[in-house]
Amino acid sequence: MKTVVITSYRDAGYIEENLKRLSDSDFEIVIAVDEPEDKILEIIQTYGVKASISKERRGKWRALNDALKLVSGDQIIFLDSDTIIDDLSGLNGCDVVEILKEVKGDTIIEKLVNIDFLVMSLGSKIASKFGSCLGINGSAFVIKKSVIEKLGGFRKRINEDTDLGVRVGLNGYRFAVCGRAYTKAPKNFKEWFKQRERWSMGGAEILIENFIPILFRPKLWIPYLIFFYPAIFGLLVSLILPESYLFKILYLILPFIAIVSPKLASIAILALYEIGNIKNILAAFVSFSAWSSLVILFSSKMNYKIECRLLPVYYFLYSPLWTIICFISFLRVLIYKTIGKEIQINDWKV
């Protein structure tokens, strides 16, 4: 038997829609909710499902662990209330399954996050081919009850799902990506930045805790590194393109030639400068073309709809900003841990 655990904080979200979609299947339903609105209590009573209810905010990791105590199924599907299941086919015998997620929205941010979710899924899908996993998106995933029990359930972390995924990968459990779900995303930049600050701080916390074992298992992180931070393509191309030390020497010599022929020296320096620009432009073009071609190819094969015209925005603006946020968060968490300061996130209970 399979159990579906739906978590919520106050808002009913898609809980009832999911219950209707799952009503014809042999699923046990468990709802874990903190500070529930009346609508959620009505749904629980109407559908007669199991529930773990708290009048105060427990923190997601604790709410999930409380829900686990009510689970009878040997395979558990975890859903956030803002995520709706579309397809659960292909849930094979793997220990952990990441459910493919799409974002349907009209704003630019929502469409960029949709590309982001595809990129995350590609990293996970490629990692699964190497039998590895370095993170789980907790809004929709599947795990065997025996596996999560052996791992000790969810731990007290900002990103309890990332922490679980890292432990899945480090302990060698079988991992796959299949199924499909639709989830909500921030509608504007302010909401997005707030979410990503939390994600990056939580991710940095887990990376620092597990840095050495992760570092020595490159199959865990290389697929994610390439797709999560596509600008790395540009770095690789720059490293491949020849770097002439002659150019550097000329930069030093040409100003002295200006004493004899200022015009010749000026033209030569300009030529060297433009050659450097062409190299940088070429590296950016080649890397973007390679990365975007892979994304378009996989989106087509996976029947995942994205706004292709936004790929340049994602590659040259969105992804670098996300990378910078992650880097800054890593430094912040490292400093906090060094001085013994507790990590706190606004509007988030740990």
Read off the pLDDT of residues 225-243 as tens digits, 9 standing for 90 and up: 777 777 666 666 555 655 5
> Which of 56-65, 142-151, 268-277 is predicted with the least confidence, judged by mean pLDDT?
268-277
Q: Quote the pLDDT of residue 257.
A: 61
In this structure, are residues 139 and 181 in contact, taking their beta carbons and an 8 Å threshold? yes
Q: Quote the pLDDT of residue 128.
A: 86
Q: State yes or no: pLDDT of 291 exceeds 70.
A: yes
Alpha-carbon Rg for the chain, nearest whole angstrom, is 24
Q: What is the pLDDT of residues 26-77, one digit of tens each?
A: 899 999 999 999 999 999 999 999 999 999 999 999 999 999 999 999 999 9
Q: State yes or no: pLDDT of 261 exceeds 70.
A: no
Q: What is the pLDDT of residues 181-202, one digit of tens each?
A: 999 999 999 999 999 999 999 9
| AA letter at 282 | L
Rounded Cα distance between 133 and 276, Å, is: 39
In this structure, are residues 318 and 189 in contact, taking their beta carbons and an 8 Å threshold? no
Domains in the chain: ranges and CATH? 2-186 (3.90.550.10)
- pLDDT-derived band at 89 (thresholds 50, 70, 90) equals confident
Q: Quote the pLDDT of residue 238.
A: 59
- pLDDT-derived band at 250 (thresholds 50, 70, 90) equals low
Task: Name the most confidently modeled range: 141-155, 272-286, 333-347.
Answer: 141-155
Rounded Cα distance between 144 and 73, Å, is: 9
Q: Quote the pLDDT of residue 36.
A: 95
Give the percent of the chain with pLDDT over 90.
63
Mean pLDDT of the chain: 88
Q: What is the pLDDT of residues 309-328, one digit of tens each?
A: 999 999 989 988 998 899 99
Three-state SS sequence of the chain: CEEEEEEEECCCCCHHHHHHHHCCCCEEEEEEEECCCHHHHHHHHHHCCEEEEECCCCCHHHHHHHHHCCCCCCEEEEEECCEEEEECCCCCCCCEEEEEEEECCCCHHHHHHHHHHHHHHHHHHHHHHCCCCCCCCCCEEEEEHHHHHHCCCCCCCCCHHHHHHHHHHHCCCCEEEEEEEEECCCCCHHHHHHHHHHHHHHHHHHHHHCHHHHHCCHHHHHHHHHHHCCHHHHHHHHHHCCCCHHHHHHHHHHHHHCCCCHHHHHHHHHHHHHHHHHHHHHHHHHHHHHHHHHHHHHHHHCCCCCCHHHHHHHHHHHHHHHHHHHHHHHHHHHHHHHHCCCCCCCCCCC
| AA letter at 275 | I
